[in-house]
Structure 1
Amino acid sequence: MIIGEPWKSMQARSTAEIADDIPNEIWYRVPKELAYLRFSDPNYEFITPPAKFFTIGFNRGKIDSIRMSPQIEPLPLQQALDIVLNLQEQWRTSGWTLDEPEEFPAYDNTPVWYQALKECSALSSHWNAGKLYQLMVVITCYGDNRYPDNKGYLVTISMGKFRE
């Protein structure tokens, strides 16, 4: 899918079942099964792992936002970090650039990043695809009352049109 493309075009190419948009409305839909994101812009393409949480926003028949966690369940820290490191490499390779790298640096597999993630104090990272799209990625801690000693981690990506 591509931000700004007609909803019907995305549906025609999608391997996941996604309901129709609502004419002249601003809303979102969720794929009916696990789905991955294949961002198809020829200059800024990337692919995520399967996602259980995946919303696709639309505005009057056109895709305007994506919000997802590219994973099926909360993950151990290193696995969540590996997903983000892989995505960052895809973004760099296809021309995405960090926005405000001093304030919001790219995630890295270093002791400093690992400790910040472990303490649930890591910042988000922001990426731009020219002046077309931007996204934010963050790894957050996930607690489950059923398993208080097992902390999981969630990767969240929010994506939309570029805004200054």
Structure 2
Amino acid sequence: MNVYDFTVKTSRGEAKSLADYRGQVLLIVNTATGCGLAPQFKELQQLSETYKDAGLTVLGFPCNQFREQEPVKDSDMQEACQINFGVTFPLLGKINVNGPDADPLYKYLKKEASGFLGSSIKWNFTKFLVNTEGHVVKRFSPATKPLKFEAYIRKLLADVKTGTPVV
């Protein structure tokens, strides 16, 4: 099993197979526009712009489970994040990341990479790095700024034939 086995909802409520991202490095993040960590959108966007042509896709999953910090409706999410944070990477449908109603993808991610406090998601902007085979290779805490782990992304994007970093 890997992340490509999951189907998620888009912000328009349509089914989106993560198999569509097969062969790409994924950075999966639970987001919230009203969170004090929302400035991380800027660094996530920077990584997306820098490495998208090399095979990185950032996927944002809005979540309202932490002090209701995601009041934006799914249908308005992409536009709100574009206007307020300059985000152009995909923002999918709002999900739960903890509890009995947690999205199956997040149940899988948490099982594959436990955090400091066990498997639950501590807060918004928990980040999971997934390799080109769809396996979780690293989990980063909400406090870890995205540019702090750029080297991990570069390593995963390294050219398979030469072993040298792309970009």
TM-score after normalising by structure 1? 0.26
Q: Which has the higher contact order (CA 8 A, sep 6+)?
A: 2
Larger Rg: 1
With structure 2 as the length reference, what TM-score do the two structures score? 0.26
Going by fraction, where is strand more abundant, 1 or 2?
A: 1
